[in-house]
Amino acid sequence: MTGPREAASNTAEILGGTAGSGQPTRDLRQRKRRNTRSPADQEAAILVAAADEFTVAGIAQANVDAVAARAGVSRSTLYRRFPNKDALLHAVAADRYERGMRTLDAAVAGLGPSDAVVEAFYRGAQMISDDPLLNRLILADHGVKRLTAELGALFVEVATARIAAVLRDAGAQMPADDLAQAVEIHVRLVISYLEMPSSDDSRREPSSVRHFAATFLAPMIW
């Protein structure tokens, strides 16, 4: 026959607690934390964890299970939102893209179209240089080549439309079709430079980046 103390002990063990302590273990507390977070909070935590994992391990070696552990969610929760590593990579890249566009929006506020082109191009290069994740994906792992190859024309179309809108807000007066075509050239040039960085490191210096944008890109926008 099992006495009250043994029954309590067994119940604690079944619940994941420490026998006789009356206190739940860390695993049980962790499960409770997972269950109380909203789906939006869980997804945000997953994206942060995935960015850390891709930064540290790179694209090829990144482990989705490690992302789940970093985010404090179960594997099933992660896979419900992101069915594989490619989907997770695309989500992280899209998140970084949106953050980057907000940064560019703020950087060009109050500038004319030509100055906006120079500032946007410079800030974009600066973000790639200073952000460990972008640096890893673009310069170390050449992740942009993989992403743009998969997203293809859609990526170019979305980026072109967003940047054209930014330049229009900055005062660009040229016809919409001309503006879109000019910006598309800019986007394709940026992708090309990121896929095949110059062997001359001096071309990545701020003064060189600004000079390039002012000399060759800004005159295309009016």
SS3 17: strand
Contact 135, 128 (CB under 8 A): yes
Whether the model clears a pTM of 0.95, i.e. scores above it, the answer is: no
Contact 190, 124 (CB under 8 A): yes
d(CA 81, CA 67): 13
Local confidence pLDDT in tens for the 222 residues of the chain: 555 444 444 444 444 444 444 454 455 445 544 456 788 899 999 999 999 999 998 888 899 999 999 999 999 999 999 999 989 988 998 888 888 888 888 999 999 999 999 998 888 778 877 888 877 776 667 656 666 566 556 678 888 898 899 999 999 999 999 999 999 998 888 777 766 777 888 887 888 889 999 999 999 999
